[in-house]
Amino acid sequence: MRAAPAARAVGMITLVVTALLGSAYALGRTLVPDPPRSDSRVTTSADGPHYADQPPADNPPEPTPQNPGGDRGAGPTETGQDGYPAPSGRTTTDPPFHTQDTTGTQQVALTFDDGPDPQYTPQVLAVLRQHQVKATFCVVGENARNHPDLIREIVADGHTLCNHSWNHDVALGKRSPDAIRADLLRTSEAIRAAVPAAPIAWYRQPGGAWTSRVVTVAEELGMTSLHWTVDPSDWRAPGAGRIAATVVTGVEPGSVVLLHDAGGDRQGTVDALHRILPDLTSRFQVEALPNGAT
């Protein structure tokens, strides 16, 4: 009969020791710092500038009367549970600052940003050539300067050129009109150093971070500001399957599709084109935007 009190005492001691051990473990966890988080939206390497065509979260566009929330230009997009665009891939707001986001016809336009890139641009050109499709290339000035042979190849294949700023400055639209004008002129000069007679009828602001100021300057220089309708967020490198699915389900007559041939790992975009082009060309006329040549 005396075993019962002894057993109770042992049980109490066990509970106390367990509680003390748990408290010590919790205290230790609070003293260990969490591992640092990295922002994978912009990739870098030693072989050249890598851009992501969206402004970083800690540097959103400045709010304006037309854009009181400081949205990133593209407007909100419908997203799935995993954070990627829903299959429509279509922006839910009108194009900002009276930019153009459709072809204005039944034709569909594919646009490629941030190049030219010596690894991915030739692959994109080869796939377009295979399917006899003309596209629009929004080129960065410093890349045009560094790879004039690729600018010449783009033009030789009959594609349209678009000015995409000198070094992908997302904040360019907030700078002075003189600074914007100098940036755009420098970019156009780099393009024409490769192809002297190249018409440049379009301008696309990096990140879609439009302001009335940059649209006005582009217009003064004879360029129409080009936004987009379908964005598969290929700059995130979500994989060829997701890129292709977003484009083929989101395109409709007049769509302008935003893709990238530079600025990071674009192999997924190249691979997606092998699925996108057969589908789109079976349903639409896919053409480059008018280059303004007379």
Catalytic residue among 117, 147, 260, 261: 260
Answer yes or no: are the C-beta atoms of 63 and 96 closer than 8 Å: no
Buried b (16+ CB within 10 A) or exposed e, 230-240: bbbbbbbbbeb
- Quote the radius of gyration of the chain (alpha carbons, Å): 26
100, two tokens: 């153009």
Catalytic residue of the set 53, 101, 113, 169: 113
Rounded (10°) angle between helices 148-156 and 121-130: 10
Query: What backbone phi and psi angles, to 5 degrees, belong to 203?
Result: -135, 135
- Please give the full DSSP string across 116-139, using - where no structure is assigned: --TTTHHHHHHHHHHTT---EEEE
Question: In which residue are the tokens 């000035």 written?
Answer: 141
CA distances from 293 to 21, 92, 100, 198, 205 (A): 78, 33, 19, 9, 22
Task: Give catalytic status of residue 113 as yes or no.
Answer: yes
**Does 227 participate in catalysis according to the annotation?**
no
Question: The tokens of 274 are what?
Answer: 């092998």
Alpha-carbon dihedral sign for residues 140, 207, 112, 185:
negative
Rounded Cα–Cα distance for residues 13 and 7 (Å): 10
Tokens read off for 142: 């410093």
Determine the Cα–Cα distance for residues 110 and 128; give it in Å rounded to an integer.
Answer: 10
Question: Active-site residue numbers?
Answer: 113, 260
